[in-house]
Amino acid sequence: MRIVILGAVALAAAPARADDAADIAKLTDALFASDTLRFTPGAHVLSMSDLQPATEFLASFPPPSTGMGDHKERDLAIARSRDGKTAWASFVTTFTLAVEHGEAPPNTWRISQLVVKTPAGWRVAFATWTEAVDNDAANRAAIAGKLRLDEVESTGDAGLRAAFGKLAATGFDKPDAAAKELVVLGSAPGERTTSGPAFARAWNAAWAKHVDVEGASAELAPSGTTGWVAANVKLHKTKGGKAYTIPFRLFVVFDKDAAGVWQPVHVHFAVPPP
């Protein structure tokens, strides 16, 4: 399936005001709620396999009153855009679904949500929803050629796509100057970084110049100074003298710095389940 990433808003890295943060935190269960009013019209949810309208995604979950199990969130981080009109929240959620004879085994997902401030309050405009995959399992499957990703079509803002391409090709120009509030969700269980400089140094060492971009879709926020990219990349690796690649889907939020240069402020990594 070809995935075209459709209009959402993008987010920057300014700390959210306390009242905004409290309102945005209430949206962490939006993907489990039957109330579609928590989403903006046209909101979408991107998983590893599909891009769906939020209304269709919500329909795949039973309403809480008719069988939804429990869900608990942790590692919640919230930041607000430069213009104060958009924000992002990232967190890890563990949930269960009620079944005929009890509950299904718990599932753990990493979620990044883009939210927009409307006259009715903060609403979810876009969500990325992925499952963590053990690094060893991902590498074994990649070596065996068993990891596949649906295509992401290269479309949207050319400047943002160029910024992502530069990040992949040459990395951070000044790793120590990376956004301090940058939160990174890695592809494996427990991988979460909250230091921009630490991530920038790791990216420059292991990712920049080692990835091929195989499709990147980009959108701008209303302010024009924040934006996001969803992309498929292949990371080149070797093991025991054998060269192989691992496909990743990256979700990256960018914000323009004082000089007008796009800088990453949030990153969400995922690999397809083996």
> Does the predicted model carry a pTM greater than 0.75?
yes
Q: Where in the chain is the domain with CATH 3.10.450.50?
A: 2-131, 135-270
Read off the pLDDT of residues 41-65 as tens digits, 9 standing for 90 and up.
888 888 877 778 888 888 776 555 4
Read off the pLDDT of residues 92-120 as tens digits, 9 standing for 90 and up.
988 776 655 555 677 888 999 888 888 88
Read off the pLDDT of residues 188-235 as tens digits, 9 standing for 90 and up.
999 999 999 999 999 999 999 999 999 998 987 777 887 889 899 999
Q: pLDDT band for 186, please (50, 70, 90 cuts).
A: very high
- For 135-270, give the CATH class: alpha beta
Read off the pLDDT of residues 144-179 as tens digits, 9 standing for 90 and up.
999 998 888 899 999 999 999 999 999 999 999 998
Q: Which DSSP string corresponds to the chain?
A: -EE----------EEPPHHHHHHHHGGGGGGG-S-GGGEEEEEEEE-SS-EEEHHHHHHTS--GGGTEEEEEEEEEEEEE-TTSSEEEEEEEEEEEEEETTEEPPPEEEEEEEEEEEETTEEEEEEEEEEE---HHHHHHHHHTT-----EE--EE-HHHHHHHHHHHHH--S-GGGS-TT-EEE-SSTT-EE--HHHHHHHHHHHTTTSEEEEEEEEEE-TTSSEEEEEEEEEEEEEETTEEEEEEEEEEEEEEE-TTS-EEEEEEEEE----
pLDDT of residue 34: 66
Mean confidence (pLDDT) of the chain? 84
pLDDT at 131 over 90: yes
Q: pLDDT band for 86, please (50, 70, 90 cuts).
A: confident
Domain at 2-131: CATH architecture: Roll (3.10)
pLDDT at 10 over 50: no
